[in-house]
Amino acid sequence: MDLSFSPEDAAFREEVRRFIDENYPENLKGKLDEGEEWSKEDYLSWHRILGKKGWVAPAWPTEYGGPGWSATQRYIFSEELARADTVPILPFGISMVAPVIYTFGTPEQKARFLPRILSGEDWWCQGYSEPGAGSDLASLRTKAERDGDHYIVNGQKTWTTLAQHADWGFFLVRTDASVKAQEGISFLLIDMKTPGITVRPIITLGGEHEVNEVWLENVRVPVENRVHEENKGWTCAKFLLAHERTGIAGVARSKRGIEKLRAIAATELDGDRSLIENPFFKRKIAELEIDLAALEFTELRGLAALAAGKPPGAESSLLKIKGTEIQQRITELTLEAVGHYGAPWFRGFGDSDNEHAIGPEYALRAAPTYFNMRKTSIYGGSNEIQRGIIAKMVLGL
């Protein structure tokens, strides 16, 4: 595997960096660091800018509107977005349901949904997890019964990220309870404005309204909105999760997180010296950087395989495990670095909306981000499940 970048790759990096510098909205720069949350319009404004350029769907085939980039170019693009600390491209439409639609969908489904995902007209959410079916997703109980040209869907989904904004959702539902669990599941595309759908907020430990529970009561879904064959939805689910887990690794964003951590540690004092000079804290950062470098090389090997035409395999589980563990360690060390300045931003500490911020600006998000990132080792398939996949598919146990 050649890890060096060609002159063409270097020129591409400069092109991407220049485009971001010239086009990223000023009002979004540093917004999260100032304690504010990204709004729906924040996400969509950057999505539209990238869409107009033709860069919002880096991995899509060109026939559906992708830019035709190599795996290396996609990697460089993600690095530059992280370096500039941009609003992320939400994965639910672009990186998750779209590949399922253009791989398994009908020509009509591709024509109907893909252009609207690309333009940002449709905001998507993911209806996988249920109160009794998270890591053991195949045990899901949301039921879809055939009624002529429709399915009647009843059940509950939970931890549905940003469903309060969603126009559409992709849902796993049980269409046959008489067969093996994985063989009786179908993949449905559901209009979130359909009567019978109720979205209820779940406020996280960090105080954000990011996730929701979704109730479906006698929701009528046209059969034409089923992707792939009836009872073959598990094939779509596995395909989607392999792509999701690769993206969850977040190597480029973690690099940026370590840069911020180093800057904080260089500013915060430990006695009469900066925290970064403390040998114990310095060692923690060094160990983190070593692990991230190893993860990056693993991701590059995966990209090389993708470039050779191989689909994501069990290595996506490895990327998910180590990537999320590293993300959590970054937030842990950041909270440790800001020390008592993080305390006022713990949820439940008290309402300080009318007070001046306590401590430096970089401390505002330390506690909420730490609490929010507790989820990463659970979502996308818990890390315990991923270890089981590796044991079976890689080690043959």
* Nearest of 216, 218, 191, 247 to residue 130 by alpha carbon: 216
Tens of pLDDT, residues 240-264? 876 655 566 788 889 999 999 999 9
- Report pTM: 0.87
pLDDT at 395 over 50: yes
212 φ, ψ (degrees, to nearest 5) = -145, 165
Check if the beta carbon of residue 334 is closer than 8 Å to that of residue 260: yes
Tens of pLDDT, residues 165-223? 999 999 999 999 999 989 999 999 999 999 999 999 998 887 789 999 999 999 999 99
User: How many CB atoms lie under 10 A from the CB of residue 96?
Assistant: 21
pLDDT at 330 over 50: yes
Higher-pLDDT residue of 342 and 242 is 342
Confidence of residue 302 (pLDDT cuts 50, 70, 90): confident
- Helix or strand (DSSP H, E) at 153: strand 150-157
Give the residue numbers annotated as catalytic, written as ranges. Answer: 244
Confidence of residue 154 (pLDDT cuts 50, 70, 90): very high
Confidence of residue 342 (pLDDT cuts 50, 70, 90): confident
pLDDT at 332 over 90: yes
Exposure class string for 103-112: b at 16+ Cβ within 10 A, else e:
bbbeeebbeb
Tokens of 385: 């499940």
Q: What pLDDT score does 246 carry? A: 59
Q: What pLDDT score does 347 carry? A: 58
pLDDT at 163 over 80: yes
Q: What pLDDT score does 186 carry? A: 98
User: How many CB atoms lie under 10 A from the CB of residue 316?
Assistant: 25
Q: What pLDDT score does 1 carry? A: 52
pLDDT at 36 over 50: yes
Residues found in the chain? 397
Confidence of residue 351 (pLDDT cuts 50, 70, 90): low
Cβ partners under 8 Å of residue 319, min gap 6: 245, 246, 248, 249, 295, 298, 299, 302
